[in-house]
Amino acid sequence: MTENLSNWPIYTVKETNVALADDIRTKVQESVTAQEAGDYATALSKLRSARILMAGLPKRSKHGENELEFDQAAIDRMIDHLVRLEAMAKGIQVTKVTFAQPTATDAL
């Protein structure tokens, strides 16, 4: 038996796409803020959330006079870039060496 989903009191596809576009934009902005603070793990998490929200959306969606375009490849490139930045930051932290003058108690 097929259920008629058009009777459900939910957003229309266009309204849903606009709401998702706002959510995606928010996630990307949160990612930028985290990246600027050097928090690459959070930045990656936010971008991955944006990518998940984009899954299944059409590449373009028209809403009134506005046209939404979802560029999943751009998000993927940003994720790849942040993965490299995170790896470099971790590598620098691991290889960081601090030199100090020996004290008299170090010889004991």
CB 43 within 8 A of CB 35: yes
In whole angstroms, give the CA distance from residue 102 to residue 79: 44
Domains of the chain (ranges plus CATH)?
5-107 (1.20.58)
Q: What are the tens digits of pLDDT across the range 7-45?
A: 544 445 566 777 888 888 899 999 999 999 999 999 999
Q: What is the reported pTM? A: 0.63
CB 82 within 8 A of CB 44: yes
Could you tell me which of 62, 50, 46 has the C-alpha nearest to residue 24? 50
| Predicted confidence (pLDDT) at residue 6 exceeds the cutoff of 60 | no
Residue-level pLDDT at 71 = 82
Beta bridge partners of 61: 68
Taking the C-alpha atoms of 20, 72, 33 and 29 in order, what is their torsion angle to the nearest 10 degrees? Answer: -30
